[in-house]
Structure 1
Amino acid sequence: MDLTDVWNRVLGGQPSPQLELVLIAGAVALIAVLPWRVWRITRNVVTIAHEGGHALAAVLTGRRLTGIQLHSDTSGLTLTRGKPRGPGMVLTAAAGYVTPSLLGLGVAALLGAGKITLLLWIAIVLLAAMLVMIRNAFGVLSVLVTGGIVFAVSWYASTDIQAVFGYVIAWFLLLGGVRPVFELQRKRWRGRAPDSDADQLAKITGVAGGLWVTLFGLVSIASLVIGTTLLLPH
């Protein structure tokens, strides 16, 4: 396969799967999000998206990105340098919890346009860019495993398998973007998250942390609703 074939394969359109397969993909995503024992593992993917959101917002707003850490307890840390206040810091801190849902919405839009292979290769490029900034062993392993799975599906799997995999990713990001917001607020009620993104935003802006959590929740739920309409065949 030459470069032209690869390019055509990536940019070419693929037919959408039948409604039954879309619903099966949604059921698989639910299984990956709802049971706690499964969520302890799959939440690492949401953490990658979360920290990637912080990192991208930092770069786009002119902050200096110095490193990203992903931990085995599914927590993460994105280190940046710049002004401790101001729009750049606010956008960087606010990006984490909304990024998985917004990514899910973008994935749903690409799937609706039939760009399944393109979607998978965009994911690979983003993971590769993130890998450069990872600063701990578990983080490197998490990104490599995730990227390896996506690459294997994009390169070796049939069109039908790619489609189902893409829909599972979309459903997972849309559903998995909602749960961490509720987990965050539950931890805040119990006093177990004094340095959460919402509380850091409260210190920076003077807006109550609960209002920031509400904003995160509204974005994630709206993304789920809109994404669902994009994913279900018309």
Structure 2
Amino acid sequence: MDSNLSWDNLGWDSLGDQRVMVVVLAVAAIVLTGERTTWHVLRNVVTIAHEGGHAVIALLMGRELAGIKLHSDTSGVTLSRGKPRGPGMIFTALAGYPAPSLLGVGLAALIGLDLITVLLWVVVALLAILLTQIRNAFGVLTVVLTGGAAVAVMVWGNERTALGFACAVTWLLLIGGLRAVIELQRSRRAQGSGRRGGPPVTSDADQLAWLSHVPGVLWVTVFFVLSLVCIVAGGWLMLSWNP
């Protein structure tokens, strides 16, 4: 695949065609994340980014990373050692839900800068680093398959395929990040808002409420607003670039 891959050499008839592709993929992401069966499969990618966010911030906060597990029900857990309370734990718990959306904005910026090949290498590199921390078989399989898809596009895909894959992954992270936040609040309503007097480990929002004494619903609101902002920003980056 051309190492200088950019909008200019994709053979589109017009810039409008490029923008149509971005919009079509956005609609596809909305439809696929809204359908239960496909979302159950695609959510694994969002979970990878979610747990990766926990892991990165845990390390930045000086905590010792003990491993990551990804489960077949699309849930995951990132284990770290350190003080059970305090800023380090708060920021670690906070990082998960914003991570897919923020990563999506970062990838959208690379698309806007005509750095499609760089984007694919970034995805592969991040997954390779994450793989070193995976501690269960399903997690290894999920990360390897996801990385393998990116490698396959780089090796066998043409320029349009690479761009379409990059935009599709970016929209999945952006739209899927919002869908995950909506699911979080639905789950909290179904299970209750957490136990009083002890650490409510049922969700990141409830854990944050226990750690910070800020109501869990406010944390969910923060996640929701941030996800919406990232969708707008990511979409703008992909649609407004004019090489």
Provide TM-score, normalisation by structure 2.
Answer: 0.89
Q: Does the CA contact (< 8 Å) of 1:69 and 1:76 recur in 2?
A: yes
Mapped to 2, the partners of 1:192 and 1:39 lie a distance apart of 24
SS of 2:42's equivalent in the other structure is helix
Aligned residue in 2 for 1:160: 160
Q: Which amino acid aligns with 2:68?
A: I
Matches within 5 A, 1:72-151: 72-151=72-151
Paired residues, number: 226
Post-superposition offset of 1:192: 5.9
User: For residue 211 of structure 1, what is the amino acid of its counterpart?
Assistant: L
What is the CA deviation profile of residues 70-104 of structure 1, one whole-angstrom value per residue up to 9, with x for unaligned ones?
A: 00000000000011122211111000000000011
CA distance in 1, matches of 2:92, 2:73: 22
Spell out structure 1 runs of 4+ moving beyond 6 A. none
For 2:6, which of 14, 19, 23 is the aligned residue?
A: 14
1:13 touches 1:113 (CA, 8 Å); kept in 2? Answer: no
Query: Are the equivalent residues in 2 in contact too, given 1:66–1:81 (CA < 8 A)?
Result: yes
Deviation at 1:15, TM superposition (A): 1.2
2:61 match: 61
Distance, in Å, in 2 between the alignment partners of 1:13 and 1:90 is 41
Partner of 1:227: 234
Shift of 1:155: 2.3
Deviation string for 1:96-126 (max 9, x for gaps)? 0000000111111110000011001001011
- 1:187 corresponds to which letter in structure 2? S
CA distance in 2, matches of 1:156, 1:62: 41
Q: Residue by residue, what CA displacement relative to the aligned partner does 1:178-198 show, whole Å, maximum 9, x if unpaired? A: 011111111111116742101
AA partner of residue 154 (structure 1): M
* Range with greater deviation from structure 2 (183-192 or 67-76): 183-192
Match of 2:25 in 1: 25
Segments of 5+ residues of structure 1 without an aligned counterpart are: 1-5
Residue 188 of structure 1 corresponds to which residue in structure 2? 188
- The residue that corresponds to 1:203 in the other structure is 210
Partners of 2:220 and 2:22 in 1: how far apart?
30
Distance in 2 between residues matched to 1:132 and 1:102, nearest whole Å = 22
Q: Distance in 2 between matches of 1:154 and 1:33?
A: 25
The percentage of counterpart residues that share the same residue type is 50
How far does residue 29 in structure 1 lie from its aligned partner after superposition? Answer: 1.7
* Alpha-carbon offset, residue 137 of structure 1: 0.6
